[in-house]
Amino acid sequence: MRLMKGGSAAGTALLGLLLLAACGTGRQEPPAQTPFVRTALVLYGSFGRSHPGDCFPLSEAERFHLLETGPDNHSTTRWCEVRANRGLHAFQELKRRSPGMRILLYYMGPGQLIVSRFDRLSQEEWSWIKAHHGRGSGDRWAALGASTGEYLRALPYPVERAMHLGNPNWQAHWLRTRYERAWVRQEGGHDGRHSDGIFLDGMQYGVSWQNGWRLEGCFDEASWQWSCSTQDHPDPYYDPSTGRYRNELWQQHYGEFLRRAVPYFRERGLELGLNAWRIAHPAQIALYEELGLLAMEECGFLCWRVPEVREWEEKLRVMAQAQNYRILSVNAAPGSADVPEPNPSEGLARMDRSYQGRTGWQWLWFALGSYWLAHAPERGNAYFLFTLWNFRDQYWFEEYDPARLHLGRPLGPAVRAEAGLWWRPFERGFVAVNANRDPRTLRVAGGGRARLLAHENFRTPQAAPPVNLDAGVELAGYQGAVLLGE
What CATH number corresponds to the domain at position 280? Answer: 3.20.20
**CB burial string 62-89: b at 16+ within 10 A, e below:** bebbbbbbbbbbbbbebbbbbeeeeeee
Cα separation, 125 vs 284, in Å, equals 30
Q: For the segment 55-80, what is each residue's pLDDT rounded down to a tens digit?
A: 999 999 999 999 999 999 999 999 99
Q: For the segment 345-373, what is each residue's pLDDT rounded down to a tens digit?
A: 788 999 999 999 999 999 999 999 999 99
Please tell me the predicted confidence (pLDDT) of residue 402.
95
Amino acid letter, residue 19: L
Q: For the segment 133-191, what is each residue's pLDDT rounded down to a tens digit?
A: 999 999 999 999 999 999 999 999 999 999 999 999 999 999 999 999 999 999 999 99
Cα separation, 452 vs 474, in Å, equals 10
Structural domains of the chain, count: 1
Please tell me the predicted confidence (pLDDT) of residue 200.
98
Has residue 30 been placed in a domain? yes
Q: Is pLDDT of 28 > 50?
A: no
Task: Determine what percent of the chain is predicted with pLDDT higher than 70.
Answer: 93
How many Cβ atoms are within 10 Å of 315's Cβ, its own excluded? Answer: 25
DSSP state of 234: B
CA angle 166, 169, 173 (to 5 degrees): 110
**475 beta partners:** 440
Q: Is pLDDT of 341 > 80?
A: no
Cα separation, 323 vs 336, in Å, equals 32
Please tell me the predicted confidence (pLDDT) of residue 339.
77
Q: Is pLDDT of 474 > 80?
A: yes
Has residue 265 been placed in a domain? yes
For the ranges 14-28, 29-43, 435-449, the maximum mean pLDDT occurs at 435-449
Q: For the segment 65-121, what is each residue's pLDDT rounded down to a tens digit?
A: 999 999 999 999 999 999 999 999 999 999 999 999 999 999 999 999 999 998 999
Cα separation, 301 vs 303, in Å, equals 6
Please tell me the predicted confidence (pLDDT) of residue 467.
96
Cα separation, 333 vs 301, in Å, equals 10
Has residue 255 been placed in a domain? yes
- Confidence class for position 397, pLDDT limits 50, 70, 90: very high
Range of the domain at 302: 9-110+166-206+241-485
- Least confident residue range of 8-17, 105-114, 118-127, 296-305: 8-17
Which H helix or E strand runs over 172?
Answer: helix 168-183
Three-state secondary structure of 333-392: CCCHHHCCCCCCCCHHHHHHCEECCEEHHHHHHHHHHHHHHHCCCCCCCEEEEEECCCCC
Please tell me the predicted confidence (pLDDT) of residue 34.
80
Has residue 145 been placed in a domain? no
Please tell me the predicted confidence (pLDDT) of residue 33.
58
Has residue 191 been placed in a domain? yes
For residue 359, how far is the Cα from the chain centroid? 21
- Confidence class for position 342, pLDDT limits 50, 70, 90: low
Has residue 228 been placed in a domain? no
Give the mean pLDDT of 464-486: 96
DSSP 23-37: HHTTTPPP-TTS-SS
Q: Is pLDDT of 210 > 70?
A: yes
Q: Is pLDDT of 323 > 70?
A: yes
Please tell me the predicted confidence (pLDDT) of residue 6.
38
Has residue 53 been placed in a domain? yes
Cα separation, 347 vs 24, in Å, equals 41
Please tell me the predicted confidence (pLDDT) of residue 104.
98
Has residue 216 been placed in a domain? no
Please tell me the predicted confidence (pLDDT) of residue 18.
43
Please tell me the predicted confidence (pLDDT) of residue 338.
81
- The SS3 assignment for 71 reads coil
